[in-house]
Chain A
Amino acid sequence: MVMSASPTDEHRPSTGRYLDQSKIQAALDQAQDLGASYAEVRLMAITDSSVALRDAKLERAIPGQEVGVTLRILADGAWGVHSTTDLISLPSQIESTVRLAKAVAARRSSKDRPVQLAEVPILEDEIHWKPKQDVRNTDLQTKIDHLNTLHNSAADDDRIISVTCGWSDEHLHTELMTSEGMNRVWSFQRSLINASVTGRDGGEVVSYRTRHGGEGGLEVIEACDLGQLGESARIATLRLLKAERAPSGKLPLIADRDLTGVYIHEALGHPCEADLVAAGDSCLAGKLGQTIGNEIVSVVDDPTIRGGYGAHPIDDEGLDTREKNLIQNGVLTEYLNHRESAHHFGITPNAGARAQDGLHHPLVRMSNTLIKGGTHNDVDELMEDIQYGVFACGSRGGQVDTGRGSFQFAAQEAWLIENGEITRPLKDVSVSGLTLQILKDVDGLTRDARLAAPGFCGKGQTVPVGDGGPIMRISQALVG
């Protein structure tokens, strides 16, 4: 039975730690005695809640507590991993996990490079990003009240046939102990509110989604004008009911902040992940130091942007997070990496390791990714010399084939641009392209870059991310 330890605060030991440090230290020592060159135990306890309202009626409210712990062992240059919800059983898994790592190593050929880890500072401390208003203390009625505000504004038209509003919050507590002596604890919170609005006019049915959220507690939600958020979603939904299908072809494209963020996340961020580069699955392999985009393009990934949905103080290998400059003036300057890939490429570790939860091992992941601002004043200035193009807004998500370097992202709504002016509303706009081409085709950026709506990124594991930037113009994109 793997369920044994309780993540609820009242069951937590008086030390404030879930892990019994002396037992874990003994287990890590045992791993080294058995031949491990590195061992770590990472625990994540999550206290979360989600609430959904459908047409102003409470559909579901789910409070939850979960805890997971992952033992990761490097032996003979290969990884063995054991994940469980049973904290107590963990020390008994040391021997089998070392054996697992050695079994993987035994199957490597002599030409395969053994896994090694880049050196990092060994720290023993605690970092807790305290929210202004601890979301764990927010009662259900308060959440319902906020959701109702969003709903009432979004639903205020006969053509709106359904509004589903959702809330989610989580308090994340992580403990990491390694055989190198790392012993760190960190915690922070995330809060999110969203709405999905469905409109119908005759046989025409459309839907529109909106989200607001970020790192932090209740203050994140209360900083948002939910009435305005709902109203914008309602107006967009009604506009979609009258919208035409988008033209197809290669066209000039202007993307709002949301889409700019998704674009840079998909087109550049994923191919910049050093584990994919090392695996031979990135179109950016061998291109560090090369010009891959227009000189106006500079891109950062920055988990230290407090309030961003992808913000976190420490990465899941125990490194202090920092800003990463992926592209500077069109030149690829840095991959996102973790300790293994940093060693592989002989580059400085930049704290890019993230795991979905305590039951998953860390991968190289993005956090808050954005294009820096440019020189244009506003969208009108970007549009003024476009004869026929598309202004696309809001994201329905995207996807990338990192190896081929092709990507796709979809807009929630769009407008046709004719002779430098917005004319008709469009729907079902998607944009696709090739990373190495389209970065060169970015030819205009407004000055004001900031994070847009929160998102989620999948790479076998799902992690929250923030994306954004300025309003962006691409001289030619494949619009469908």
Chain B
Amino acid sequence: MDAIRARGITKCFGDVVALDDIDLDVAQGQIHGLVGPNGAGKTTLLGLLLGLAVADSGSLHTLGRPVGRALAAPDGVAGFVDGPGLYPSLTARQNLAALAALRGHDVRTAGIADVLDQVGLTDVADDRVRGFSLGMRQRLGLGAALLTKPRLIVLDEPANGLDPAGKRHVHGVLTRLAREGTSVVLSSHHMDDVEALCSEVTILATGRVVFSGPLNKLAAENRELDYRLLTSHPQSARRLAADTAGIRVVDGTEARHDAEVLVVRTLVPALDELVVRLVQSGIALRELAPVVSPLEAAYLALTEQQEDGR
């Protein structure tokens, strides 16, 4: 059973078509990324999943059941859009306790301390949220979602404002949840987060799906990428790259400022060939990474195509 199955979802606000015939499938236990430029319809789609709005047409099933036309979050679904809803006059613990009481849970047994620990806010549990940073609010928002023990979590930009430690915390929590069978749908502008967390991704542009599927499929379908190489002999490596078929040495990038770094534009097979030749020539390869992630490159290419096609 899919956690989400959407077919032909369309949502308009007046004359603006926010979502145009959207299909979406998210399997149980999957972390699914939703990316797209501002105004692509990500938040609208997440709002539909949370029951904050009703689509104009199409069908939407969450956790195997059809979503009704009433403005209400389906059972087992939790999360937030446009930032977590928290009350600044309450402490972190009070926010969660009020929410637990609202759900009819016994505050003493609702696992508030455990949730605070999971999101790394135990030390500030009794501080008023008024003084929290954006990252701390995001983590508390995630905690509020966890409190309901959901089977589907919907998160809008959960990594906003997170420092590296906070990000690691959140990633750890989401990965564990997915391992335990909870599905996660998150939107983000941070491609590295999406790549680190998500097994599948949907790219939206101007309310339409321009790609949906596994990340590796996206990379394979992609065109040439820029790769950054750090070698033991930069000049020799540069010559070798220039002599390799299908490889183009790129100037005018950040590498220009660092003579030690070589940037090449190529497809994966040609890159493999270059690596073999470097090693055979006795040149040590110390670092190899795409300048722009495959997801980001694909995202840029696909959304630009969409923009051009309008």
Do the two chains belong together in a single complex? no
